[in-house]
Amino acid sequence: MITELAAMLKDRFGIVFNNPDLLAEAFTQASYVNEHQDQKLKFYERVEFLGDAVLELAVSEYLYKRYKDMPQGKLTRLRAAMVCEDSFASFARECGFPQYIRLGKGEQKARAWERDSLLCDIFESFVGALYLDQGREPVLKFVHQVIFPKLDEGRFDGVFDYKTTLQEYLQRDGDVDIDYQLIEQDGPANERSYEIAVLADGKKIGQGWGHSKKEAEQSAARQAYSQLQQSNDQ
């Protein structure tokens, strides 16, 4: 099982562990260790402890650098949405981790690999093991592949109001006329989609779409804000 996991990590993420025992530890639950005491195995809880801290720091640093003008309260809310059980369990599923978790027979029968709490732990323990095995840079490369693109996909848009965030950013030095214009609407009434552009002093700075005008406006504001932040980085 761990051999297959190592092959998947190499093919999908370009990750090759120097110490395969660390990788095995990260994917081993205590129930499996208890049933194989003769093998003197370790289970994931200690590396999970480390991975939790590594992930919080990596996400915090990324948000701090990307959103240079975002106030601390909003950064905290966004980080909380990204660094949580639901998100980490989702990332673990998207990485294909559930099938590689080593469980005792009882936990296998109970389909423990489907539990968000366990998947969250495994995601954190994997990152902790990767950090111990290879250091900071491979961890950052991995989270840039797995976590940060979800920001651009809008997965965390519900955390705060992008329209307000964009307005605060544009008007930090004075009044700016911000307008949201409907470009197109499509589909039947019960499945209608909207495409909306956001303009600042008459200049288009972003556009987005959604199944309601409000959702489309938030999408447009998020795109505009992200592009403005990226422009500042150049």
Residue ranges per structural domain of the chain = 2-155, 161-233
- To the question of whether residue 217 is assigned a binding role by annotation, the answer is no
Choose between 35 and 97: higher pLDDT.
97
Question: Per CATH, which fold does 2-155 belong to?
Answer: Ribonuclease iii, N-terminal Endonuclease Domain; Chain A (1.10.1520)
Specify the CATH class of 161-233 in words: alpha beta
Residue 40 in contact with residue 142, Cβ under 8 Å?
Answer: no
Distance CA 221, CA 44 (A): 41
pLDDT score of 210 more than 90 = no
pLDDT, position 233: 60
Residue 234 pLDDT > 80: no
**Active-site residues: which are they?**
52, 124
Domains 2-155 and 161-233 belong to one CATH topology? no
What's the average model confidence in pLDDT over 151-162? 79
The per-residue pLDDT for 54 is 97
Q: Looking at beta carbons, which pairs linking 19-23 to residues 24 or more positions away fall under 8 Å?
A: 19/132, 19/133, 22/47, 22/129, 22/132, 22/133, 23/126, 23/129, 23/133
Of 189, 178, 59, 48, the closest CA to residue 121 belongs to 48
Q: Does the annotation list 48 as a binding residue?
A: yes
Q: 62 pLDDT band (50/70/90 cuts)?
A: very high
The mean per-residue pLDDT over the stretch 214-222 comes to 90
Is 21 annotated as contributing to ligand binding? no
Contact 87, 116 (CB under 8 A): no
d(CA 75, CA 56): 12
Residue 61: per-residue pLDDT:
96
